[in-house]
Amino acid sequence: MKFSAQQIAGLLNGQIEGDPNAKIWKLSKIEEGEIGSISFLANPKYTHFIYSTHASLVIVNKDLILTGPVSATLIRVDSAEIAFSKLLEMYNQVKLNKSGISKHAYISESAKIGTNIYAGEFAVIGDNVKIGNHVKIYPQVVIGENSVIGDNTTLFAGVKIYSETVIGKDCMIHSGTVIGSDGFRFNPQNDNQKIPQIGNVIVEDNVEIGANCAIDRATLGSTILRKGVKLDNLIHIAHNVEIGENCYLAAGVVIAGSTKIGKNCMFSGQVGVIGHLEIADHTMITAQSGISKSITKKGEVMMGSPAFEATKYRKTYIHFRNLDSLVKKVDALDKKSKKEN
């Protein structure tokens, strides 16, 4: 699909400098610009590329002062970065605007399907499933019986939704993620017999879950991801965990069973949290930290394994790095003391 500089300028409320009929049909970095592409310049470090780029259109700030000839048509806006982000969002909406049900998809007769849904090849929608309006179900997605999917939610290729799962509106779940698999519960006093997991998973509105995550169903009750939660790739959420509104969890985070996490928390990569803890609102945890006890004070920054308050951790780490020289000093004092005695 081709667009002219004039059309792009109209969308961004920008001013054209160059050929208003210049055509673009793809996006590029400014240093990798090709004929037919559009790019942007916001970081002064990349200013020199404006004179050599082959991009047909470049979005720039209104106050950019040129010191040489430029072959690209420019679109001047108040903020090139914000304008290009807006363009990316529109591009993404067009790219993901799929509709229609493939003849190779399976939809149970008892399922209730909303309007304007997309179901790709070999998607499976089980018995008594309820699908809202404008839902996108990519190829090889499986939605188990009695599940509910809210309006405007997207399930990318290969997502597996076990039975009884409830997913809200405006959610996005990326490829390979499994929601509703059994919690890890066995009885060591009875030959490690598996404990049945008969709860479910509830994902509230405006949640995004990255690729290859596993969200376990509850033993009883529900595992819950509250509104606005954002999960990176490769995250495991165990049975009966509850994650509060607007929490951000980076890749590799593991939350053990029955832990309750407050609102607006941020966990960096590879954080591990043991089970049955409570984490207060606004907690921040640095990468590779291990949380072994509840955090009751709001707004704490935690670091280390086992984790404790970050400023104390940094001071302690300074002493740890000096430990070898301190040991040598103690040994020297000990030898001196023995000689004097």
pLDDT 10s digits, 163-209: 999 999 999 999 999 999 999 989 888 888 998 999 999 999 999 99
C-alpha torsion angle, residues 185, 189, 194, 198 (rounded to 10): -60
| Boundary of a domain, candidates 95, 119, 139 | 95
Please report the pLDDT score of residue 55 as a whole number: 97
**How far is Cα 220 from Cα 260, in angstroms, rounded to an integer?**
15
- Supply the pLDDT for residue 190: 87
Structural domain of residue 302, as residue ranges? 100-311
Domain containing residue 137: CATH number = 2.160.10.10
Global pTM reads 0.84
**Considering its fold, how many domains does the chain have in total?**
2
Question: Looking at the domain assignment, is residue 252 inside a domain?
Answer: yes
What is the structure's pLDDT at 3?
93
What is the predicted pLDDT for the residue at 313?
Answer: 77
pLDDT of amino acid 143: 98
Q: Which residue has the tokens 């160059």?
A: 18
Do 181 and 205 fall into the same domain?
yes
Please indicate, yes or no, whether residues 71 and 131 belong to a single structural domain of this protein: no
Could you tell me if residue 249 is inside a domain? yes
Give the neighbor-by-neighbor strand order of the sheet with 130-131.
112-113, 130-131, 148-149, 166-167, 200-203, 222-225, 242-243, 260-261, 278-279
- Asked whether residue 181 is domain-assigned, the answer is yes
Domain membership of residue 301 (yes or no) is: yes
CATH number at residue 44: 3.40.1390.10
**What end-to-end distance do the CA atoms of the chain give, in Å?**
91
d(CA 299, CA 110): 48
- Residue 147 is predicted with a pLDDT of 98
| Residue 295 falls inside a structural domain | yes
Output the pLDDT for position 322. Answer: 80
Cα–Cα distance for residue pair 146/126, rounded to 1 Å: 7
How many whole angstroms separate alpha carbon 191 and alpha carbon 186? 9
Is the distance from CB of 33 to CB of 72 less than 8 angstroms? yes
Residue 168 lies in a domain: yes
Give catalytic residues, as residue numbers.
239
Q: pLDDT, tens digit, for every residue of 292-330?
A: 999 999 999 999 888 878 777 787 777 778 888 888 888
Judgement on whether residues 127 and 253 belong to the same structural domain of the protein? yes
Per-residue pLDDT, 220 = 96
Does 327 reside within a domain?
Answer: no
CA distances from 260 to 120, 255, 281, 332, 333 (A): 36, 9, 10, 50, 50
**pLDDT at res. 95:** 80
**Which pLDDT value is given to residue 41?**
97
pLDDT at 160: 98
User: In which residue ranges of the chain is pLDDT below 70?
Assistant: 341
Q: Are residues 76 and 194 in the same domain?
A: no
